[in-house]
Structure 1
């Protein structure tokens, strides 16, 4: 698996290589940069693998939900996502770094914004085919902004964003 920073062919895109199997890959052309697998019977738990690291994501709670992000094999949260209204929320890392998760556009796009409100990453769902009103959840284009490129957490943010889009189909 190639590191996200060494990808030779943009754009980056989350794809569903096996229809109806909850496993996704982040591609740059034919190169695979990340894999995200949802547990088949419990789609609130995912494992992620990139060249930069391995993580687990787990949604907990019923009325008040959280998403816990951990390094694989570690029992302490690296970060926690606190959902808000209409799919929005705040991602807070253990060291205090925070990102806001917001709708980017009405075309199925969502973005992470840094502490200063600058967009660092946007994910856009594949557009709906003619005659269908909703975008598909099997493919999403990933756009990392110039402000986001230097952040070493970008591979993790890319995976968290896709997980949130799969969890909350808004």
Structure 2
């Protein structure tokens, strides 16, 4: 795994390693910049890694779900995400009080963006793939020098992986009914 640097932020892709595994890598060409791996087949605990950092992510709650992000091995949250009512938007709360907005920017939910409070885009995701989940990632100029960019890239991908899983489960229930 190589370190995420501002000069290599073009052509990024999140790729699922196997259609049968909930493990993903953020790639720039042949180089791996980050990974997100769910620890159990049906659980929500995941571990995210970059060259120099690692976090755990977990969704908790049923009626009022929330995602927590912690430095691996710590009990202290470094960020948390609260989804909106319909699951197509939510807010990431960071230390120091900064709030970022994550929302679907397309009707079918294939495009997502992480934005500042004033609407300035930081990261954009264009979902790809049917059997294996992945996405093209655009890092906007406002995000390129952020020290928390590795955390934001991995946390957003974790949230999108959960959203895709939940959407697939909902579709299966509707089809069976």
TM-score over 0.5 for the pair: yes
Secondary structure, counterpart of 1:158 in structure 2: helix
Aligned to 2:107: 106
In angstroms, what is the RMSD of aligned CA positions? 1.8
Aligned to 1:5: 5
Q: 1:72 to 1:165 in 2, by over 3 A?
A: same
Q: Please point out which of 116, 119, 126 is paired with 1:117.
A: 119
More helix by share: 2
| 1:104–1:122 CA contact under 8 A, matched in 2 | no
Ranges in structure 1 where 5+ consecutive residues have no aligned partner:
128-134
Aligned to 1:38: 38
Question: In 1, Cα distance between the equivalents of 2:9 and 2:97?
Answer: 33
Considering Cα pairs closer than 8 Å and 6+ residues apart, tell me whether 1 or 2 has the greater RCO: 2
Aligned to 1:165: 160
Aligned to 2:96: 95
Counterparts in 2 of 1:4-153, with a 5 A limit?
4-5=4-5, 8=8, 10-87=10-87, 88-106=89-107, 108-126=110-128, 138-153=133-148
Question: In 2, Cα distance between the equivalents of 1:106 and 1:155?
Answer: 28
How many residue pairs get aligned? The number is 163
CA-to-partner distance for each residue in 1:83-129, whole Å, 9 max, x for gaps? 112221100012212100111223601111012220100111016xx
Ranges in structure 2 where 5+ consecutive residues have no aligned partner:
168-177
Secondary structure, counterpart of 1:86 in structure 2: coil
Question: In 2, Cα distance between the equivalents of 1:155 and 1:33?
Answer: 9
- Structure-1-length-normalised TM-score: 0.88
- Structure-2-length-normalised TM-score: 0.84
